[in-house]
Amino acid sequence: MKILVYGAGVTGSLFAVRMHEAGHDVSLLARGERLASLRRDGVQLSEADSPAVRRVSVPVVEHPAGGYDLIAVFVRAHQVDAVLASLAGVEGDVLFMLNWAAGARPLGTAIGHERVLLGFPTAAGTLDGDVIRYRATTFVTRRVAMPIGEPGGRTTPRLERIVETFRAAGINAKAEPRMDAWLETHAAFAAPLGQAVQAAGGPVALAGDPDAVRGMLRLMRRNLAAMPPPVPRGFAALRTLPEALLVAVLRGFLRSPIAAHSGLSNASPAETAELERLAEQLRARAKGRA
């Protein structure tokens, strides 16, 4: 499969390496200093806090060109408009793998509705200089499949083909019939979480402030209450379980190694802009249902 991976941050780079090592014709799109680093040193990988760094030479490009069997987009929500403009004349199905709560329609309007697929990456990590420190695999993370879906929930031959291709490359992927709802549910949780972590100064600092965690949880509940039943169904627990229990669970998560290596400590302007964009999208969808 000829694949363009659009976005060379943590998740895009991890995905590009996995597909490249599986034998696919992969190009990783990057710009600026990140492009220079990849050309010089390849993708540099390290598990969590390990001092060992592995380098993988993946072909890199600065602009999309020609056609692809699949274009996998790994960018932040506030960067999508620029990506859409650059892909309008590039052939290939486009799988948007990102935080996104606005639905598929604005994506399809820009590049053609028939080209759009939605998904979300389950790999996570942080960028330490030019080294990607990815989250160590655990029993829990191994069981979490990367969801991919067609707008409208159809099961199509291309969706089945993409899922099978990812699985053959060692990526635990699955077809998700309610991908739009999945992404909105995730944003309802992730936007309050990210903004609360930034306001507190990090996940551990937030865990030490039960009142702030309680306020974050209440915002999550308001977001979920404005939506149809959440997907996955497990998120319904945020609406039904006792507040005190959920606060304790969330504080434990914030102190865990999973939180430490999931990018939650990122306080960059790009992270702030993405969280603001997600919050705007959630408000717009809630208003549209009112």
Give yes or no for residue 267 having a pLDDT over 90: no
Sign of the dihedral defined by the CA atoms of residues 268, 271, 277, 282, in that order = negative
Give the confidence band of 141 by pLDDT, cuts at 50, 70, 90. low
pLDDT digits (tens, 9 = 90+) for 190-244: 999 999 999 999 999 999 999 999 999 999 999 999 999 999 888 999 999 999 9
Q: How confident is the model at residue 138 (pLDDT cuts 50, 70, 90)?
A: low
Q: Which domains does the chain have, with CATH numbers?
A: 2-177 (3.40.50.720), 181-289 (no CATH)
Express each pLDDT in 74-129 by its tens digit.
999 999 999 999 998 899 999 999 999 999 999 999 999 999 999 999 888 888 99
Q: Give the whole-angstrom CA distance, residue 197 versus residue 254.
A: 9
Q: CB neighbours (10 Å) of residue 207?
A: 20
Q: Which helix (H) or strand (E) holds 174?
A: strand 173-175
Which range is most confident: 47-51, 121-125, 155-159?
155-159
Contact 204, 158 (CB under 8 A): no
Which pTM value belongs to this model?
A: 0.93
Tokens of 47: 């598990």
> Angle at which helices 179-200 and 210-225 pack, to 10 degrees?
160
C-alpha dihedral sign at 180, 185, 186, 187: positive
CA distance 220 to 231: 14
